[in-house]
Amino acid sequence: MLIEVIHETKYEYAPAVDIAQHIMHLKPIETINQQVVSANITIEPLPEWLSETTDVFGNHSAFFSIQSTHEKLDILAHSVINTSVLTLPPDATASSPAWEKVRDYFRYHVESTFDPAVEYVFSSPFIRPHPNFKDFSQSLFTPERPILDLCEQLMREIYEGLEYSKESTDIDTPAHEAIKNRRGVCQDFAHIFISCARMQGLASRYVSGYLVTDPPPGKPRLIGSDASHAWASIYVPSINLQGALCPGHWYDFDPTNNHWGLGSPGEHYITLAYGRDYSDISPIKGVIHGGEKHTMEVAVTVQPIE
């Protein structure tokens, strides 16, 4: 599927901002499921300094600095991405390794091979151990259960057991509160999935991106009415000919919509960035001098290109 994404963020400040420095994660990355046809970002007013790099997680990261007084800031990201789906064999779920073996794979052993996915086993700013996560998911972790079967049910438990409610949480709401109240948004659902997995010693990461949504029958697609999306990813080692675990692949699970797949939940998904949690890959964050009060408007359009 060929997909166009337009992501516009507008800030207005009162009084004016004297100096601003920001970091952005707004350009999609290349994955096994998607190829970036084009990706451009326009910033107004023009920054005095702009640099782009690849961060430690492999994402496109950009830093810019505006050193002149400004009352408005407009950031427009425009991307075209070609997505695809990787078909799994019929026995992929049942033949995946037991979750205990995957947990043990990440434990240190003398002369063991280091797998970079181990950095997603530990706590991070938004992912902290809490009894609420164990109470919610402990019954799923039965002995010798295939990890993909386990993760599919964990995703389904979140999808069916929690209510999606836009006004129920904000960016600072801890995931353990969202699971206690049984409601939240996609960011909360992703953090809950990751938290449940990490508390059992599994490697799980946060994925930010977009999702193509269809307008009601007979209605036109509304420009700017879409939103960013988020889901979770679990690392599953492969099994070699000797029956031992070796470096494997990431499988993506979307608890908000109950979809999952190898490298992506489906062709309607666009991956923007990977991180330990939201704090690593928020679309825009920064520091300003001035601008005691500000407003922010975000408009996102995600549409297939015929």
CATH of the domain at 183: 3.10.620.30
Whether 167 has a pLDDT exceeding 90, the answer reads no
- State the pLDDT at residue 140: 97
Contacts of 84 (CB under 8 A, 6+ apart): 1, 33, 34, 267
Percent of the chain with pLDDT over 90: 85
Instruction: Answer whether 41's CB lies under 8 Å from 6's CB.
Output: no
Query: What is the spatial distance between Cα 302 and Cα 223, in angstroms, rounded to a whole number?
Result: 9
* Domain, as residue range, for 15: 2-83+281-304
Average pLDDT, integer, range 12-19: 94
Kindly report which listed range (18-32, 61-75, 144-158, 165-179) carries the lowest average pLDDT score. Answer: 165-179
Instruction: Answer whether 228's CB lies under 8 Å from 210's CB.
Output: yes
R_g of the chain computed on alpha carbons: 20
Q: Based on the domain organization, do 218 and 294 belong to the same domain?
A: no
Q: Specify the DSSP element, H or E, that contains 153.
A: helix 147-161
Q: Which residues are registered as beta bridge partners of 135? A: none
How many domains would you assign to the chain? 2
- State the pLDDT at residue 217: 74
Whether 141 has a pLDDT exceeding 60, the answer reads yes
- State the pLDDT at residue 218: 72
Whether 31 has a pLDDT exceeding 60, the answer reads yes
pTM for this model (two decimals): 0.94
- State the pLDDT at residue 191: 97
Q: What CATH number is given to the structural domain containing 7?
A: 2.60.40.2250
Whether 220 has a pLDDT exceeding 90, the answer reads no
| Structure confidence at residue 221 as a pLDDT band (50, 70, 90) | low
Query: What is the spatial distance between Cα 80 and Cα 6, in angstroms, rounded to a whole number?
Result: 9
Q: Based on the domain organization, do 42 and 172 belong to the same domain?
A: no
Q: Based on the domain organization, do 124 and 179 belong to the same domain?
A: yes
Q: Based on the domain organization, do 46 and 109 belong to the same domain?
A: no
Average pLDDT, integer, range 52-68: 96
- State the pLDDT at residue 223: 59
User: How high does pLDDT run on average in the chain?
Assistant: 93
For the segment 199-209, what is each residue's pLDDT rounded down to a tens digit? 999 999 999 99
- State the pLDDT at residue 110: 78
